[in-house]
Amino acid sequence: MSARILGVLDRKVLRDLWRMRGQVIAIALVAAAGVSLQVSMGGLTVSLSETRAAYYERYRFADLWAPVVRAPLPLAMELRAIDGVASVETRITAPVLFELGGEGPPPSGFVHSLPQDGSQPAVNALHLAEGRLPAPGSSDEVVVLDSFASAHGLHPGDSLTLTLAGRRENVTISGVVLSPEWIYAIAPGQLAPDPALFGVIWMNEAGVAAATGMSGAFNEAVVRLMRGASEPAVRAALDQALAPYGAAGAYGRREQVSDAFVSAEIDQMRTMTRMMPPIFLIVAAFLVNIVVSRMVAVEREQIGLLRAFGYTPLQIAGHYLKFASVIALLGLAAGAALGAWLGDAMAGMLADYYHFPFLLFGLDPGGYALAGALALGAVMLGAAGAVRRASRLTPADAMRPPAPADYSRGLGARLIAFRQIDHQSRMVLRQLLRFPLRAGLTGAGLTASAALLVCAFYFADAVEVMVEEYFTLANRQDLSVHLADQRAMGALDALTARPGVMEIEPFRAEPVRLRFGHHEILTALTGVVDDPRLARLTGKRGETIAPVPGGLVLSRDLADRLGAGAGDTVLAALTRGARPELELQVIATPQTWVGSGAQMRLDDLNRALGEGDVINGAVLRMDAREAGALYAELKDAPAVAGMQFNAEARATFREIMDETMGTVIGAFILFACVIALGVAYNAVRVSMAERERELASLRVLGFSRGDVSYILLAEAALITLAALPVGLLAGAGLAWTLSLSMDSDVFRLPFMISPASYGYAGLILIMSVVLSGALVRRRIDRLDMVKVLKTRE
Amino acid sequence: MASLDAEPDGAAPTYQVRDLSRVYGDGPAAVHALRGVDIDVPEGELIVVLGASGSGKSTFLNIIGGLDRATAGTVRFRGQDLHDASDAALTRYRRDHVGFVFQFYNLMPSLTARENVALVTEIARNPMDPAEALELVGLGPRIDHFPAQLSGGEQQRVAIARAIAKRPDVMMCDEPTGALDSKTGVRVLEALQNVNRELGATTFLITHNVSVGWMADRVIEFADGAVRENRVNANPVPASELSW
Ligand SMILES: Nc1ncnc2c1ncn2[C@@H]1O[C@H](COP(=O)(O)OP(=O)(O)O)[C@@H](O)[C@H]1O
Ligand SMILES: [Mg+2]
């Protein structure tokens, strides 16, 4: 018997859901947004770190890199004997230039040597995507990094011309590979990977040794640690063993460029996963609260009656919880589907930049379970208060019709004194003041939406500032040239004299360990000309901050990592020449959004190192019409190890930012609109349902549809107007938090929001509310005066 | 028609209703709420509308009050056809000429008695002071009370004050005493009769209560969607003398 009657109640659940489908869909969408973000970003965070861990383990990714100038091969035995070292691979790593024909800027990159016997290296093994490793003993076969190969359509069997230590070589491609060292394949000092302009190849040791004059020697040891070994201890031991051979100092994964990028990506995704889904789920909970509260209020007599018939409070509670849980399940289903799709799309985007040999994004049952629990929990929590009220109604309540809403108490009643407020506005204000919690929650939802919108546009602003600062203000060169080794200052004279070259600035960059207090960082110390005009560190107003004699200009991010400020004296341990330890006074710590910099005067650096007046690179401004000829000349210059091109780098950076940030911004805007629509639509709908009778009466009294709409929509408009400034402020706060948490070694998000961003955010919010209003307005137009007035409240 | 701003024209009737019918729904389920009603109503009369439940009284009142539209036939208010009026024109007609009183008061709970009345006087062309209107229905002392603080009869009298405050040409009262006890009902009827005399507003008063007919200038009785009887009462009695 009870089953049959429950069946009737269940049918009521379905009818209620259908009757309120607009609101149900709006809430389910908000929940779906939260679920999809949790599933996709949470899932991606997990799968990205797990994929990375598996990749590193299976391909024996190094824990430490120890570059030297030149060390004899037998030294490897000594390194293997260091306590905590599991395995060591010694290799030769050298810069290489590629010759691929065409007028454009020539690609550069690195060659790593492979064991002569054709076996995989013991550390940093390669994943073969195509072909095979170079044949044992061969000296003219190479394997090519897959991003570079696909950018140029290279396959096994193709031949390739390259310049290695000034020598032109013709080699044959035997395979295409992925490497755990080059998941994110980016040229040193670059901001964004450009697979066409940066390549990595591997060839047998003898071939590299012959070309670079490194026979019987190595210039880099890569080391894997034993489980539980102390990284600093091993690093110190390595540095000690390698010191006589020009060791620049071993560094770990944190300072390995590719891994640093992957880590930053994972961190950012984790931050977003923690911040975003809760916003949506909280909003969904609050919407459920409004809708179920309203239902319970309207149905109190029915509930009392059901209680009189013998239904238990639990059955009553169950009835409304069923209604809420269907909404949660709808949101969950839509969110899971959307999340799978979103996760796939985001993984596809990541796969363009991060190269793994296997699948990035898998459906993570744990993630779904978590998202499901969160969504259900949030919705149930939202319904809880109203459901409790429903289950506490007694049969006696059924007999007693609710008294007309009492507006005689509270702030609203005092409006009697204000004669100048018209009566429609009075109704609006009293409604607001009588239900301040609901108005507050609606306002909070709109605030969240506005905040998300501000954040979305803030990202675009931040990228704009970063690009402007780095490419226009700080780095005004067209081209940077890196030399294979240091050369006398005069090496550039020929270049300077060339007609295409408009301005040239030499530099000397050396690896350095900066120490201050307990902190130590590995970075590059650049000796620059006295008044740099091209590659500069700049102050707040864009002025050049040039190093003074004995002083160090340190970008803010490095200074922060050291815990040092202007006026402090830091230790700079250099690894060239006499391996001096310099005491340098920090004279300024200019903020850089992109990249870092530690600059001192070139003369000071050369004097300290005692190797004469030398340089190892230059930045230059050139006449674009002469570019082709200039490239050809530089490519063949034996000293040139690599080149970087500002225009190309800027375009690549832009492209990546447009794609990744564009997607993020689009998603933020979409989600913000979902929230605004869901919140505003529900608020106006509930208000309309509650006041249908009043509104119909007003129409009877001769008020026009416009007047009636005003009463209904002015409330939403007022809440929107109140929420807007708060939301914009909250958005600034959220953006500020994001700017702090998205602080990576490579870039920092500047906290700068343009007035236009606030404007767009406000406009979109207002438009969303107007759209919600328009949807409800149609119902006002169809309001049936006669029908509404015939019934008792 | 451009507007319903008609002025009274001496001998002409306020309403001229011809062959008015209203059908709800269609096909076999269609309900003929009104089937060919013909009535002329002179200016200033107090008309009591009687009839069994479902006989079409409310439908009739709603159509001549501009809340609903007829399926066929014509309603002329001071010579102008309501049927062809636009929605906006009907809204203006209700605003400028008609005062409504319903069984269930329909006050704005968020406005005080005075404000409920002022809501209407604000958009009226020649309104009285809200306080004066409330005085007319005997509610002077309760002027700043919210509906939740008033009894049913008091709420209904606020509704009447709201209807009369704009000095309407016609009053439409659909079972105004339906929810009230006899003593309170008589006070409400007194107020209506008072207003009809003082303002000269043509007043329609729907009721189940046959004895209310004694206070009318004219009694119209509906049966099954048509007018069964339309008689003039030569000697209306004061409402205060009624009881049931
Ligand atoms: N909106 C409607 N839809 C269908 N039938 C209706 C509607 N309104 C009224 N009716 C029907 O029209 C007839 C007349 O109703 P009504 O004018 O309200 O009668 P009265 O006011 O005399 O009791 C009744 O049979 C009623 O059921
Ligand atoms: Mg009726």
Q: What is the pLDDT of residues B91-134, one digit of tens each?
A: 889 888 999 888 877 888 888 899 889 888 888 888 889 999 89
- Residue type, position A243, single letter: A
Q: What is the distance in A from the centroid of ligand 1 to the CA of A219?
A: 99
Q: What confidence score (pLDDT) does residue B10 get?
A: 58
Return the structure tokens found at A135.
């044949």
Measured between CA atoms, the residue of chain A closest to residue B165 is: A701
Interface of A with B in 328-357 (CB under 8 A): none
Q: What confidence score (pLDDT) does residue A5 get?
A: 47
Residue among A407, A422, A426 minimizing CB distance to B148: A407
Partners of B58 on chain A (C-beta within 8 Å) are 786, 790
CB A87 within 8 A of CB A115: no
Which atom of ligand 1 is the closest one to the Cα of B24? Answer: 4
Partners of B68 on chain A (C-beta within 8 Å) are 786
- Residue type, position B15, single letter: Y
- Residue type, position A413, single letter: A
CB of B53 sitting under 6 A from ligand 1? yes
Pairing of strands A251-252, A551-554: unpaired
DSSP sequence for A404-428: PP--SSSGGGGGGG-TTS-HHHHHH
Q: What is the mean pLDDT of residues A768-786?
A: 84
Return the structure tokens found at A614.
């030398």
Q: What is the distance in A from the centroid of ligand 2 to the CA of B174?
A: 7
Partners of A700 on chain B (C-beta within 8 Å) are 67, 94, 100, 106
Return the structure tokens found at A234.
């091993």
Q: What is the mean pLDDT of residues A119-139?
A: 95
Instruction: Map out the domains of chain A as residue ranges.
Output: 1-62+258-403, 66-257, 435-476+647-793, 501-622
Q: What is the DSSP letter of A533?
A: S
H helix intervals, B69-143: 87-97, 113-121, 130-136
Q: How many CB pairs under 8 A join A and B?
A: 95
For residue A1, what pLDDT band results from cuts at 50, 70 and 90? very low
A690 touches chain B (CB under 8 A): no
For residue B1, what pLDDT band results from cuts at 50, 70 and 90? very low
Instruction: Choose among A369, A325, A443: nearest CA to A28.
Output: A325
Give chain A's largest Cα–Cα span: 103
pLDDT digits 0-9 by tens, A461-502: 998 888 888 888 889 999 998 887 888 887 777 778 887 889
H helix intervals, A468-585: 493-497, 556-562
Q: What is the distance in A from the centroid of ligand 2 to the CA of B85?
A: 24
Q: ipTM of the assembly?
A: 0.77
Q: What is the mean pLDDT of residues A287-302?
A: 83
Q: What is the distance in A from the centroid of ligand 1 to the CA of A591?
A: 78
Q: What is the distance in A from the centroid of ligand 1 to the CA of B56?
A: 6
A700 touches chain B (CB under 8 A): yes
Residue among B95, B100, B115 minimizing CB distance to A423: B115
Partners of A412 on chain B (C-beta within 8 Å) are 110
Please count the residues of chain B: 244
In this predicted structure, the answer to whether residue A299 has a pLDDT above a threshold of 90 is: no
In this structure, of A280-289, A501-510, B6-15, the range with the lowest mean pLDDT score is B6-15
What whole-number distance in Å separates Cα of residue A639 and Cα of residue A493? Answer: 14
B110 touches chain A (CB under 8 A): yes
In this predicted structure, the answer to whether residue A306 has a pLDDT above a threshold of 80 is: no
What whole-number distance in Å separates Cα of residue A487 and Cα of residue A149? Answer: 33
In this structure, of A341-350, A560-569, B37-46, the range with the lowest mean pLDDT score is A341-350
Which atom of ligand 1 is the closest one to the Cα of B222? Answer: 22
What whole-number distance in Å separates Cα of residue A673 and Cα of residue B110? Answer: 32
CB of B21 sitting under 6 A from ligand 1? no
Which atom of ligand 1 is the closest one to the Cα of B56? Answer: 17
CB of B55 sitting under 6 A from ligand 1? yes
* Ligand 1 pocket: which of B21, B23, B24 to mutate (most atoms within 8 A of CB): B24
Which atom of ligand 1 is the closest one to the Cα of B51? Answer: 22
Provide the β-strand partners of residue A99.
Answer: A161
3-state secondary structure labels for all residues of A85-113: EEEEEEECEEEEEEECCCCCCCCEEEEEE
Q: What is the distance in A from the centroid of ligand 1 to the CA of B31?
A: 8
Q: What is the mean pLDDT of residues A400-416?
A: 65
pLDDT digits 0-9 by tens, A212-224: 999 999 999 999 9
| Subunit contact B106:A789, Cβ cutoff 8 A | yes
A408 touches chain B (CB under 8 A): yes
Instruction: State the nearest Cα–Cα gap between A557 and chain B, in angstroms.
Output: 59
Across the beta sheet with B15-24, what order do the strands follow? B31-41, B15-24, B72-77, B80-81
What whole-number distance in Å separates Cα of residue B32 and Cα of residue B21? Answer: 7
Kindly report the number of other CB atoms within 10 A of residue A84's CB atom: 17
Long-range pairs for A656-663: beta carbons < 8 A, 24 or more residues apart: A656/A192, A656/A193, A656/A353, A657/A192, A657/A463, A657/A467, A659/A349, A659/A352, A660/A349, A661/A459, A661/A460, A661/A463, A663/A345, A663/A346, A663/A349
What whole-number distance in Å separates Cα of residue A35 and Cα of residue A41? Answer: 10
The sign of the torsion formed by the CA atoms of A343, A347, A348, A349 equals positive
Ligand nearest to C-alpha B178: 2
Which atom of ligand 1 is the closest one to the Cα of B57? Answer: 22
Which atom of ligand 1 is the closest one to the Cα of B22? Answer: 12
| Subunit contact A430:B110, Cβ cutoff 8 A | yes
In this predicted structure, the answer to whether residue A401 has a pLDDT above a threshold of 80 is: no
H helix intervals, A256-357: 257-298, 300-309, 313-353
- Residue type, position A299, single letter: E
Please work out, in degrees rounded to the nearest 5, the angle formed at the alpha carbon of residue A101 by the alpha carbons of A96 and A103.
105
Q: What is the distance in A from the centroid of ligand 2 to the CA of B50?
A: 10
What whole-number distance in Å separates Cα of residue A187 and Cα of residue A109? Answer: 7
Pairing of strands A479-488, A640-645: antiparallel
pLDDT digits 0-9 by tens, B134-174: 988 888 888 999 888 888 889 988 998 988 888 899 999 99
Q: What angle separates helix B182-199 from helix B152-164, to the nearest 10 degrees?
A: 10
CB A363 within 8 A of CB A340: yes
Task: Calculate the CA A380 to chain-centre distance.
Answer: 32
Please work out, in degrees rounded to the nearest 5, the angle formed at the alpha carbon of residue A259 by the alpha carbons of A256 and A260.
75
A431 touches chain B (CB under 8 A): yes
B104 touches chain A (CB under 8 A): yes
Ligand nearest to C-alpha B52: 1
What whole-number distance in Å separates Cα of residue A217 and Cα of residue A91? Answer: 8
CB of B31 sitting under 6 A from ligand 1? yes
CB of B56 sitting under 6 A from ligand 1? yes
For residue A528, what pLDDT band results from cuts at 50, 70 and 90? very high
Partners of B104 on chain A (C-beta within 8 Å) are 789, 791-793
Q: What confidence score (pLDDT) does residue A457 get?
A: 93
Partners of B114 on chain A (C-beta within 8 Å) are 416
Strand, coil or helix: B68:
coil
Instruction: Choose among B222, B231, B233, B203: nearest CA to B64.
Output: B203
3-state secondary structure labels for all residues of A166-210: CEEEEEEEEEEEECHHHCCCCCCCCCCCCCCCEEEEEEEHHHHHH
* Ligand 1 pocket: which of B34, B50, B58 to mutate (most atoms within 8 A of CB): B58
What whole-number distance in Å separates Cα of residue A365 and Cα of residue A372? Answer: 10
Question: Model pTM?
Answer: 0.77
Tokens 């930049």, residue?
A353
Domains of chain B in start order, with CATH, are 43-69+84-241 (3.40.50.300)
Return the structure tokens found at A740.
């702090």
CA dihedral A756, A757, A761, A762 (to 10 degrees): -40
In this predicted structure, the answer to whether residue A308 has a pLDDT above a threshold of 80 is: no
Beta strands in A210-344 (DSSP E): 217-225, 251-252
| Subunit contact A704:B148, Cβ cutoff 8 A | no
Tokens 């690179």, residue?
A617
Q: What confidence score (pLDDT) does residue A630 get?
A: 83
Name which residue leads in pLDDT, A378 or A689.
Answer: A378
| Subunit contact B67:A786, Cβ cutoff 8 A | yes
For residue A641, what pLDDT band results from cuts at 50, 70 and 90? confident
Strand, coil or helix: A360:
coil
Q: What confidence score (pLDDT) does residue B7 get?
A: 63
How far CA B168 is from CA of A72, B2, B127, B155, B159, in Å, comes to 111, 20, 9, 20, 14
What whole-number distance in Å separates Cα of residue A471 and Cα of residue A191? Answer: 11
Q: What confidence score (pLDDT) does residue A94 get?
A: 93
Ligand nearest to C-alpha B53: 1
Give chain B's largest Cα–Cα span: 55
Pairing of strands A519-528, A598-601: parallel
For residue A3, what pLDDT band results from cuts at 50, 70 and 90? very low
CB B21 within 8 A of CB B44: no
Highest mean pLDDT among A38-42, A45-49, B137-141, B213-217: B213-217
Instruction: State the nearest Cα–Cα gap between B124 and chain A, in angstroms.
Output: 9
Partners of B98 on chain A (C-beta within 8 Å) are 702
Q: What confidence score (pLDDT) does residue A234 get?
A: 96
Element (DSSP H or E) covering residue B206: strand B202-206
Q: What is the distance in A from the centroid of ligand 1 to the CA of B59?
A: 6
What whole-number distance in Å separates Cα of residue A139 and Cα of residue A210? Answer: 9
Report phi then psi at A745, rounded to 5. Answer: -65, -25
Strand, coil or helix: B139:
coil
In this predicted structure, the answer to whether residue B199 has a pLDDT above a threshold of 90 is: no
Q: What is the DSSP letter of A133?
A: P
Residue among B111, B120, B146 minimizing CB distance to A701: B120
What whole-number distance in Å separates Cα of residue A703 and Cα of residue A247? Answer: 87
H helix intervals, A542-645: 556-562, 602-609, 627-636
- Residue type, position A267, single letter: D
| Subunit contact A702:B108, Cβ cutoff 8 A | no
Instruction: State the nearest Cα–Cα gap between A663 and chain B, in angstroms.
Output: 47
Interface of A with B in 86-145 (CB under 8 A): none
In this predicted structure, the answer to whether residue A83 has a pLDDT above a threshold of 90 is: yes
In this structure, of A396-405, A579-588, A688-697, B160-169, the range with the lowest mean pLDDT score is A396-405
| Subunit contact B100:A412, Cβ cutoff 8 A | no
- B113-123 in b/e form (b: 16+ CB < 10 A) is bbbbbbbbbeb
For residue A403, what pLDDT band results from cuts at 50, 70 and 90? low
Tokens 């395995």, residue?
A87
- Residue type, position A165, single letter: A
What whole-number distance in Å separates Cα of residue A359 and Cα of residue A712? Answer: 52
Smallest CA separation from ligand 1 atom 19, residue: B54
What whole-number distance in Å separates Cα of residue A298 and Cα of residue A305? Answer: 13
Return the structure tokens found at A19.
């009757």
CB A339 within 8 A of CB A37: yes
A73 touches chain B (CB under 8 A): no
Smallest CA separation from ligand 1 atom 13, residue: B33
